[in-house]
Amino acid sequence: MSDDSVVRPRPEAAVALRPVSSGGRVEGGFWGAWQRVNREVTIPLGGERIRESGAFANLELAARGAGGEHRGKVFADSDVYKWLEAVAWERGRADDESLAGAYARAAELVAAAQRPDGYLHTHTQLTGRARYSDLASSHELYCAGHLMQAAVAGRRAAGDDTLLRVATRFADHLVKDLPPDALDGHPEIETGLAELYRETGARPYLDLAARMIATRGRSRLPLKGHHGPGIRQDRVPLREATAVEGHAVRAVYLAAGAADVAVETADRGLLTALESQWRDMVATRTYLTGGLGSVWYGEQFGGPHELAPETAYCETCAAVGSVQWSWRMLLATGEPAFADLMERTLHNAVLPGVSLGGDRFFYVNALRVRAGANPDDRRSPARGRQDWYGTACCPPNVMRLLASLDHYRATQDGDGVQVHLYAGGTIRAGEVLLEVETDYPWDGRVEIAVRETPARPWTLSLRIPSWADQALVNDDPAAGYHRVRRAWQPGDRITLDLAVRPRLTTAVPRLDVARGQVAVERGPLVYCLEQTDHPGVIVDDLCVASPDLRDGPPVPGLPAEVVPVLARGRAHEHRPDDDGFPYRTATGPREPEHTGPVELTFVPYYAWANRGAGPMTVWAPMH
């Protein structure tokens, strides 16, 4: 049976769980709607934008082999590869002539641009710079990694080997000719090589990835600007690191690749180090949304508990990479915490990267935008989502993740099937076919029907999200992975009931947002306050006045299914003398003074800035 999974450990890999084999699909509901917009709007538009950026033209020039002006960034090729990966996964969901044609044209162009010896990087080829001469910045291997992922997707999802031939020729070249100890400033090739090994069985690809991971962390990459080696994860070997560090996207991409290598080589020490780093990241460097990276400068992780909402970087790509890393850790360990973070991140850190219409994109996902926030930078959340970016890494990253989301919902092991994410549709795991019906995340009821089953007993495990303080499975209280073992019959049904209702959230004392502030969540969704729903006051001054939260009626301008949360609030009084020097002698923290009552309308954070940009906050004072 074919297995089109996005991550596919080899049979001998040291994993607790394995991807479900093939054929199940997300259909309808919350994620089905996102996938439809992704397929119908975002991916076609992405192809256009990438064409306009010159990335296809670079490949055409490279194919002619005569040099020419390279357009865009040094990593422009990777935009094409990520977009091709998205198209490939969509072909796997439902192939059609339009997708197949677009894929074929682009993949053939990529193949034509490849040098006879297997090398491929249009910026290097067109500028004539020596190969691998500036790996700290050139992104040559980063692009190669994305090529490999796209190639594997083409084979698995569409049975199309055009890119796989290109990727294996490139990988063979690297195995043969890449200078020893060569490292790319931007990790990504590690996971690409590992998956190419999984697809082809060519062990040297895995060995090269393992070598890169072992080599890294010894300050061998040249330094740039004010940054130390940590920005590129080159300060401490990954095996010895206790915390994530540096550029957030690079860190999670590297960790994802290292997890691949760890399970394929049964390297328990490396996996343990990755688990420690992941736990430290979750405990000290993760926003409530799951977003990663609190430092704009260098797009970095900050220090522990440095998580100021308004300066959050939370690059959309870092959220995508976080899902990829967590998925690999979930496969390796079977622990639900990894799926908890995936769910949080998907709903609240990946989705905000795209407009509800699928045609505008956030690069940076701050948890607060103040009145008067500076819109000078094109990435400023105060400007709202943009049509595209000069550095366009994020939009196609979301495209490929949404197109492959089907694969992240469930796993299997010798004992049965585990469902981690709840989306309507079907799950195919070998002889098992499940059908899922749900209005999740708006409603907590999930109906799972067994459509096909072997005669022998097996266990259906349902993840109870850690946010759910009450959960019933067929009226039995449930937590963690709730396991139901029986000899299933076609037509058997199981009902999961998660108490989806609004709740207040606070934080541990070391987080500054813990001081007097709360956030609102509902099910897996983080909510926020937007200016547009609060005329007459500015969001900066809004406070929560009561712990009583309730679901509200549909909000004008948002889809009807979006459930807002209402609360009693008020506004800080901003006194005239507050416009002077803002610090005051006192005997203690200032006692808040308020204006009259304000009804607060919280909307899902992923849906913000779809009715114009403006002030917004996830956290608000409560008193």
499 binding a copy of itself? (CB under 8 A) = no
Whole-number Cα distances in Å, 135 to 111, 138, 141, 178, 212: 23, 5, 8, 11, 13
Closest Cα to residue 353, out of 402, 408, 405, 403?
402
Residue numbers 319-378 binding a copy of itself by CB under 8 A: 337, 340, 370-378
Strand 471-473's sheet: what is its strand order? 425-429, 432-438, 445-452, 493-498, 471-473, 476-477
226 binding a copy of itself? (CB under 8 A) = yes
Using CB under 8 A, which of 227, 451, 483, 568 touches a copy of itself? 227
Q: Which residue number, 80 or 369, has a Cβ lying nearer to a copy of itself?
A: 369
Q: Compute the distance between CA of residue 313 and CA of residue 367 in angstroms, rounded to an integer.
A: 9
Using CB under 8 A, which of 52, 415, 578, 599 touches a copy of itself? 578
Helix (H, G, I), strand (E, B) or coil at 546: strand
Using CB under 8 A, which of 165, 207, 237, 296 touches a copy of itself? 296
Residue numbers 407-466 binding a copy of itself by CB under 8 A: 466
CB 517 to a copy of itself: min, Å: 6
Q: Which residue number, 29 or 381, has a Cβ lying nearer to a copy of itself?
A: 381
Using CB under 8 A, which of 28, 44, 68, 304 touches a copy of itself? 304
537 binding a copy of itself? (CB under 8 A) = no
Q: Which residue number, 143 or 518, has a Cβ lying nearer to a copy of itself?
A: 518
386 binding a copy of itself? (CB under 8 A) = no
Q: Please report which helix (H) or strand (E) contains residue 273, including its range.
A: helix 268-284
Helix (H, G, I), strand (E, B) or coil at 69: coil
Using CB under 8 A, which of 302, 336, 569, 614 touches a copy of itself? 302
Helix (H, G, I), strand (E, B) or coil at 157: helix
Indicate if 264 belongs to the active site: no
Q: Please report which helix (H) or strand (E) contains residue 98, including its range.
A: helix 97-113
Burial class of residue 23 in the structure, from the number of CB atoms within 10 Å of its CB (0-12 exposed, 13-18 middle, 19+ buried) = middle
219 binding a copy of itself? (CB under 8 A) = no
CB 503 to a copy of itself: min, Å: 5
Using CB under 8 A, which of 63, 516, 557, 595 touches a copy of itself? 516
390 binding a copy of itself? (CB under 8 A) = yes
Q: Please report which helix (H) or strand (E) contains residue 278, including its range.
A: helix 268-284
Using CB under 8 A, which of 27, 60, 310, 447 touches a copy of itself? 310
301 binding a copy of itself? (CB under 8 A) = yes
Token couple for 290: 């799951």
Residue numbers 228-287 binding a copy of itself by CB under 8 A: 228-231, 235, 243, 245-246, 279, 282-284, 286
Task: Kindly report the number of other CB atoms within 10 A of residue 34's CB atom.
Answer: 23
Q: Catalytic: which of 85, 90, 264, 299?
A: 299
Q: Compute the distance between CA of residue 361 and CA of residue 378 in angstroms, rounded to an integer.
A: 11
How many residues touch a copy of itself (CB under 8 A)?
89
Q: Which residue number, 336 or 424, has a Cβ lying nearer to a copy of itself?
A: 336
CB 556 to a copy of itself: min, Å: 28
Locate tokens 């139901």: which residue? 484
Using CB under 8 A, which of 101, 159, 490, 592 touches a copy of itself? 592
Q: Which residue number, 299 or 497, has a Cβ lying nearer to a copy of itself?
A: 299
CB 365 to a copy of itself: min, Å: 15
Q: Compute the distance between CA of residue 375 and CA of residue 66 in angstroms, rounded to an integer.
A: 41
Q: Which stretch binds a copy of itself (CB under 8 A): 25-33, 322-330, 562-570, 580-588?
A: 580-588
Using CB under 8 A, which of 218, 507, 568, 595 touches a copy of itself? 507
Using CB under 8 A, which of 431, 469, 551, 599 touches a copy of itself? 469
Q: Compute the distance between CA of residue 153 and CA of residue 164 in angstroms, rounded to an integer.
A: 9
Q: Which residue number, 302 or 321, has a Cβ lying nearer to a copy of itself?
A: 302
Q: Compute the distance between CA of residue 449 and CA of residue 437 in angstroms, rounded to an integer.
A: 8
Task: Kindly report the number of other CB atoms within 10 A of residue 474's CB atom.
Answer: 12
Q: Compute the distance between CA of residue 22 and CA of residue 248 in angstroms, rounded to an integer.
A: 32
514 binding a copy of itself? (CB under 8 A) = yes
Q: Compute the distance between CA of residue 508 and CA of residue 370 in angstroms, rounded to an integer.
A: 24
Using CB under 8 A, which of 91, 541, 600, 606 touches a copy of itself? 541
561 binding a copy of itself? (CB under 8 A) = no
R_g of the chain computed on alpha carbons: 24
Q: Compute the distance between CA of residue 605 and CA of residue 620 in angstroms, rounded to an integer.
A: 14
Q: Catalytic: which of 143, 317, 393, 394?
A: 393
Q: Which stretch binds a copy of itself (CB under 8 A): 20-28, 320-328, 567-575, 602-610?
A: 567-575
Closest Cα to residue 80, out of 119, 117, 108?
108
CB 561 to a copy of itself: min, Å: 24
Q: What does 198-255 look like in DSSP terms, one character per residue?
A: HHH--HHHHHHHHHHHHH-SSS-SPP-TT--GGGGT-SS-TTT-SS--SBHHHHHHHH
Q: Which stretch binds a copy of itself (CB under 8 A): 14-22, 184-192, 413-421, 518-526?
A: 518-526
Helix (H, G, I), strand (E, B) or coil at 426: strand
Q: Which residue number, 196 or 464, has a Cβ lying nearer to a copy of itself?
A: 464
Cβ proximity of 254 and 213 under 8 Å: yes
Q: Which residue number, 223 or 266, has a Cβ lying nearer to a copy of itself?
A: 223
Burial class of residue 203 in the structure, from the number of CB atoms within 10 Å of its CB (0-12 exposed, 13-18 middle, 19+ buried) = exposed
Residue numbers 93-132 binding a copy of itself by CB under 8 A: none
Closest Cα to residue 393, out of 31, 81, 71?
81
Q: Which residue number, 454 or 612, has a Cβ lying nearer to a copy of itself?
A: 612
470 binding a copy of itself? (CB under 8 A) = no
Q: Which residue number, 166 or 364, has a Cβ lying nearer to a copy of itself?
A: 364
547 binding a copy of itself? (CB under 8 A) = yes
Q: What are phi and psi of 77, to 5 degrees?
A: -55, -35
Indicate if 394 belongs to the active site: no
Q: Compute the distance between CA of residue 476 and CA of residue 480 in angstroms, rounded to an integer.
A: 13
Q: Which residue number, 383 or 428, has a Cβ lying nearer to a copy of itself?
A: 383
- Measure the CA dihedral 483/487/491/494, to 10°: -20
CB 270 to a copy of itself: min, Å: 22
Q: Which residues are catalytic?
A: 299, 393
